[in-house]
A and B are shown apart, each in its own frame.
Chain A
Amino acid sequence: MVSTPADLHDKHDEHEHHGPAKGIGRWLFTTNHKDIGTMYLIFSLVMFFIGGAMALVIRSELAQPGLQFVHPEFFNSMTTMHALIMVFGAVMPAFVGLANWMIPMQIGAPDMALPRMNNWSFWILPVAFGILLSTLFMPGGAPASGWTMYPPLVLQTGDAFPFLIFSVHLMGISSIMGAINIIVTIINMRTPEMTLIRMPMFVWTWLITAYLLIAVMPVLAGAVTMLLTDQFFGTSFFLAAGGGDPVMFQHIFWFFGHPEVYIMILPAFGVVSEIIPTFSRKPLFGHDSMVYAAASIAFLSFIVWAHHMFTVGMPLSGQMFFMFATMLIAVPTGVKVFNWVGTMWRGAMTFETPMLFSLAFVFLFTIGGFSGLMLAIAPADIQYHDSYFVVAHFHYVLVPGSIFALMAAAYYWLPKWTGHMYNEKIGKLHFWTSTIFVNLTFFPMHFLGLAGMPRRIPDYSTQFADFNYIASIGAFGFGLSQLIFVYVLLTVKKGEKATDAVWDNPKGLEWTVPSPAPYHTFDEPVHVDRTVAFPQNNP
């Protein structure tokens, strides 16, 4: 490691001018935020299709009453693996990929703050999910306890059990390192003129999300470590005979789990807060109140966890507290929805694909929010709990919520990433088929749940047959629709050249650099026209 000033100088020059390395090494060793962002996004898309295929196994089995295709144990493995893969493998890495690509470009930074660690947080993920997917082929099958891993049920997992625990540990390590990188980048790497309150909403929501991640992923690691020691080393954390309590796992898990659902939706809020102003040709309505709302949601997310556990038994005072605290979340969320609508109000709106996905997000996410309010009511939840109503609720916030925001983001920034416009007609086709089929899939589940159909069961009473059949048709339609998205990605290079601004006078630093964005952007602090970079301060 001894170097003379001369070769140091050479190295330095190389650092200034080099482009991407050649071959596979570019991807294995890269420290470039754009390369790493691309890998995250492609990885999450692959996981989205693997998790989606599992969802289609579930919907095939549920298309008719009775058992037709799979064993009940395998069905349970499918619900478990589908959830783990979609939560930790698809939605979270996709948002981290967006963060990697966009945050340095939106705040005028040369790269992420800790580039080597950035590479590592990505490359842990294939290891984690390789281990998790390998459990499908193990004696005793893949984990089948539900992604919540409640004991004592999860302790009946076969050989897959320690692999499940350690893959969750790896996902946690990856998320924590990614989140540390994002926080440090946002706090330390902004171009001097970008004060905190001037940051774009996507950056703000990710700052808050990253804080949530660092606060709760270690708690999940602690919870699964206790499962491991209970199984193999004779501890009694979740064993009543030894003075422990299985319910304690649920408390620790949901202390992680509830912030986790905001980890999956806050960056989505950020994305639509970028897109709606662009296509309404107005600054975001109430930018600062959006920041405070996101921060309030993050704070409240720490004190509502037991609303996932109303039926498990807890003191009345606990039920009351968690019920009212949960309902309180509707206030900042309402502020957000109001502001998105306020942004559109009397705007010169156009309806390109990213805008369509964002509009559907606002409308359909709100449906998921309302069903969440219904579930928050403790006495009513005793009826809804563990029914398809819950499945309908969280799929409405995750699919037309998080996934639609991710699609919107992909269409919005794809020209900036690739330098080419995607095919607008095909994009709109993707939007309409997705929107129709997502509702066909999940809307009937509300009725199924209210009528009493339990979740995570491969068979059901014949009275539920019609709605289940409709939901299964919707699921296959939605799954096939996503192939259109792959087609869009594969053909984007054939599209016309994108301009630097791409859209009609969008705001934000990322639109001031060429399309495709050069391998290194903002090597030096940029001095920017404030009316371009800081939309919310625009008169």
Chain B
Amino acid sequence: MAHAQDRYYVPTGSHWPIVGSIGLLFLMVGVSTWLNGHDVGFWIMMAGFATIIFMVTGWFGTVIGESRRGLYNAQVDTSFRMGMFWFIFSEVMFFAAFFGALFYARNMAVPWLGGDSNNFFTNLLLWTGYESTWPTNGPDNVGGDFKSMGPLGLPLINTAILLTSSVTLTIAHHALIAGHRNVLKVFLALTFLLGFVFIYLQGVEYIHAYQDLNLTLGSGIYGSTFFMLTGFHGLHVTLGAIMLVVIWLRVMKGHFTAEDHFAFEAVAWYWHFVDVVWVALYVFVYWM
């Protein structure tokens, strides 16, 4: 099979992309119709979602199969690596938009509503008596009085969990390189279990926020930034944990060698990325 590696592997054609596009069409049209108040939209959305799951499974299955058959040479491997790197960079920029909104609101919009800079009359005439503060739900007390989520308790435990999961993942990676398959299996399993515990505790925290603190998505700019940042992060942790499970199942089937385990590394990069985002979240959303 060595000759297959001489040149760059270009697949002859694939039906997965068009299946994905059809899935996206149903998903987007479904969500939009649903948001416009038509219940049928929900089912269109679910059909689209199912199509996309089908596409992702099939597409990745094809790629894994090709990889196992040795069709990918070192140059193809590099393409995948670079592709994953730039994908993660695009995710960083997506989070940057929401962090940017947080910084802008805290350092500019809210102080200006309180009369800072040249906004004396804004405060005097439009929002009389509003004093800028953080956390805030704005001069109109949007969503009613609420308590903010402090840095101690669950968020601190979650930080410890996610940081630990990065360590266990690194141990698993070293075990893979050293050929210690059992250590690899155990620590990889530990990693995604920690991930699922994190998601569970995040759920507990959200219930606590809604029931005890009256902190909701509708709690002004604080609630908006808090739930959108932690929510999108939680979504990424969920995705990352599912990816870890897939990698773990592949490890159990005997996939990956010390030299050839791009998929493992890609998922590891992704996991460290959600970890770093969490640290930024913990500092800027919970703590400061």
Contact = CB atoms under 8 A, between A and B. Distances in A.
Interface of A: 1, 3, 5, 8, 12, 14-15, 18, 21, 25-26, 28-32, 109-111, 113-117, 119-120, 123-124, 126-127, 130-131, 159, 162-163, 165-167, 169-170, 173, 176, 179-181, 183-184, 187-189, 214-219, 221-223, 225-226, 229, 232-237, 239-245, 247-248, 251-252, 255, 315, 520, 523-524
Given A219-B94, A315-B117, A180 B10 contact: no
A166 B69 contact: no
A252 B223 contact: no
Contacts of A223: 97
Interface string B193-235: 0000000000000000000000011101111110110000000
A30 B13 contact: yes
A192 B23 CA distance: 40
Given A235-B218, A236-B221, A244-B109, A114 B94 contact: no
A184 B7 contact: no
Given A3-B69, A8-B69, A236-B138, A222 B98 contact: yes
B1 A8 contact: yes
Contacts of A28: 15, 18
Nearest to B132: A243
Given A8-B4, A123-B17, 10 more contacts: A1-B68, A15-B10, A29-B18, A116-B17, A119-B17, A245-B108, A248-B104, A248-B105, A252-B101, A315-B118
Nearest to B139: A241
Interface in B76-94: 78-80, 82-83, 86-87, 89-91, 93-94
B90 A218 contact: yes
Nearest to A222: B97
A170 B28 contact: yes
A315 B108 CA distance: 10
Contact of B97 (A8, A31, A221): A221
B257 interface: no
A222 B80 CA distance: 26
The 8 nearest A-B residue pairs measured at CB: A222-B97, A243-B138, A241-B140, A234-B218, A120-B17, A243-B221, A245-B109, A1-B65
A139 to B, nearest CB: 9
20 contacts: A15-B9, A15-B10, A31-B13, A115-B10, A126-B21, A131-B28, A131-B32, A170-B24, A188-B82, A226-B97, A236-B138, A240-B127, A242-B138, A243-B220, A243-B221, A244-B109, A244-B221, A244-B224, A251-B100, A315-B117
Contacts of B218: 233-236
A114 B79 contact: yes
B188 interface: no
A244 B138 contact: yes
Contact of B32 (A5, A123, A166, A237): A166
A18 B93 CA distance: 41
Given A114-B79, A184-B79, A243-B138, A119 B12 contact: no
B180 to A, nearest CB: 29
A127 B18 CA distance: 10
Contacts of B124: none
Interface majority SS on A: helix, strand, loop or mixed? helix
A239 B223 CA distance: 13
Contact of A214 (B8, B93, B220): B93
Contact of A218 (B8, B11, B35, B93): B93
Contacts of B101: 222, 226, 237, 248, 252
Nearest to B109: A245
A218 B24 contact: no
Interface of B: 1, 3-4, 7-18, 20-21, 24-25, 28-29, 31-32, 35-36, 59, 61-62, 65, 68-69, 75, 78-80, 82-83, 86-87, 89-91, 93-98, 100-101, 104-105, 108-110, 112-113, 117-118, 126-127, 136-140, 142-143, 216-218, 220-225, 227-228
Contacts of B112: 245
Contacts of B83: 113-114, 117, 180-181, 184
A385 B122 CA distance: 23
A239 B138 contact: yes
Nearest to B8: A110
Contacts of A26: 13
Interface majority SS on B: helix, strand, loop or mixed? helix
Contact of B10 (A31, A120, A243): A31
Most buried by A among B16, B86, B113: B86
Contacts of B14: 29, 31, 116, 119
B82 A183 contact: yes
Contacts of B4: 8, 12
A111 to B, nearest CB: 5
A252 B100 contact: yes
Given A114-B79, A236-B220, A131 B86 contact: no
Nearest to A111: B10
A253 to B, nearest CB: 10
A159 B220 contact: no
A233 B217 contact: yes
A8 B75 CA distance: 20
Nearest to B91: A218
Contacts of B89: 214-215
Given A229-B228, A235-B228, A244 B105 contact: yes
A186 B97 CA distance: 28
Given A131-B25, A163-B32, A183-B82, A242 B15 contact: no
Given A237-B224, A245-B104, A217 B90 contact: yes
Nearest to B18: A28
Nearest to B142: A242
A214 B94 contact: no
B137 A242 contact: yes
B21 A124 contact: yes
Given A219-B93, A243-B105, A235 B100 contact: no
Given A218-B97, A226-B101, A255-B100, A240 B113 contact: yes
A248 B142 contact: no
B185 to A, nearest CB: 24
Contacts of B61: 1
A187 B108 contact: no
Contacts of B137: 236, 242-243
A279 B11 CA distance: 38
Contact of B3 (A12, A120, A176): A12
Contacts of B36: 159, 162
A44 B78 CA distance: 31
A227 B213 CA distance: 26
Contact of B136 (A109, A124, A217, A243): A243
Nearest to A165: B32
Contacts of A251: 100, 104
A120 B100 contact: no
A232 B1 contact: no
A175 to B, nearest CB: 10
Contacts of B220: 236, 242-244
B142 A241 contact: yes
A183 B217 contact: no
